[in-house]
Structures are given as structure tokens and as C-alpha cells.
Amino acid sequence: MKKIIFFISVFLCFSLLAGCGGKQPVCAPNPSAGGAARLNLTHGEPPAPEDKERNETSSAQADSDAPMEKVPMLMLGGNLYCDTGEVSTELRCGMMDGEITSSVEPWERPSEDGQSNFGSGYGYQYARKEGTVEVNVDGQWRVFKLRSELRVRYCDTWYSAEDVSDETLLWLLWFNSLGEDAQMCVSFTPPDLYELCGYPGAGDVAVEDAQG
């Protein structure tokens, strides 16, 4: 009887192993395989910037060749307006002040009036606050502000948007959409923002160590 129970147990073990063998492990989507969503204008959560290993030279070269997306922008009256990450809930009339008529690639700056780098066909209205435009994107009124007047927050400190790149503005748009706990887990800071915060560079650290 014990032998029969033993053989039945062995048979069940092999059956379970065979059934598990055909299943793939559950894992996070691989951004390099196209599984990560691009940052969009509807507050969808974008992927965090990847921490790349220095020894992955081929991957680094591929990334350096690819153009980097800029913060969503549009040009009106010869001025650039940047997405602030805010959504307006104010009551408004149905009349639009204009419509975005053309679009460039996400990694380009608009260069003509009525042009954006996130698509065309969106209606917009000038907001009550001077220097602000609100764009109707899929039913949400996204708030855009003159780039020259825009101030951005990073870790409770405010900086002028003119002091950072368009790519860093996009990163800040993502970073500021995270909760405080999630922000603490982000180990990457864009180089221009890193210097703007006054953090020491590698050369400065080496000098301090030598003097110490």
C-alpha cells in the first residue's frame, strides 16, 4: 500500500512540473521591447527613466542616437507655451479661440503659429490668467503656460523653465506626477537639473577628496 501511495505521489509531482513548464514567469514590461507607454497628455503614468549600466555600451550608443522627446509645447503668436501638468476644471463657454492646425515630431520644437509637438485638431482657449492657454485634449483642458514665464518645482524648490532643457521639463512633468514616496525611489536626475541644484560634479568630488 505504501508503494502505491509513493508512486502516486511521484506521478502527481511530475504532472505538476510538466504543467508549469509551459508557463512564462510574470514580469514587468521591458521598455526596450516596446512594452512601455510614452508619456501622454492624459496623465497616463509613464515609465521611469532607466538606470543604464555603464558596461552596456551597445545599449548606450543606441540610446544616444535616438532623439529625446521634449515637453509638450505649442506656438501661438510667436511664443512657446509648455504643458504644466495641470488640468483645468473651470466652467467655460463652448467657443474656441483657435485650433492647433499642424504638428511636428515629439522631439522637435514647434516653429509656426498654431503648431504643436503632440498632435493637431485640438481646440484651445486663452485662460483668464495672463500667459496661459488651455487646450482641450480628449475632453481634458490641459494648462499650458508661456515658457519664458513658467516656473517648475523640484523637491520643494522652484526654478525657471528657461534654465533647463525641454527634455528636462518633460522629465519634471513626469516626476511631479509621482507621490512623495515614489519620488524618493527615483535615482536619476537630468544633468542640467543636477547642476542647477548645486550638487557637486565628479571633478568637484575628486578635488574635495584630495583636499580632505
Nearest to 72 by CA among 121, 106, 36, 113: 106
Tens of pLDDT, residue by residue over 26-42, are: 222 233 333 223 334 43
> pLDDT at position 160, please?
93
Q: Which region among 5-14, 98-107, 122-131, 185-194 has the lowest average model confidence (pLDDT)?
A: 5-14
More confident residue, 48 or 70: 70
Q: Is the pLDDT of residue 156 over 60?
A: yes
Burial of 168 (0-12, 13-18, 19+ CB in 10 A): buried
**Residue spans per domain, the chain:** 73-148, 151-198
H runs (alpha helix) in 71-120 = none
Tens of pLDDT, residue by residue over 76-129, are: 999 999 999 999 988 887 789 999 999 999 999 999 999 999 999 999 999 888
State how beta strands 115-116 and 102-103 pair. parallel
> pLDDT at position 64, please?
56
Burial of 119 (0-12, 13-18, 19+ CB in 10 A): middle
> pLDDT at position 63, please?
52
Q: How far apart, in whole angstroms, are the C-alpha atoms of residue 208 and residue 204?
A: 6
C-alpha grid cell for residue 112? 509656426
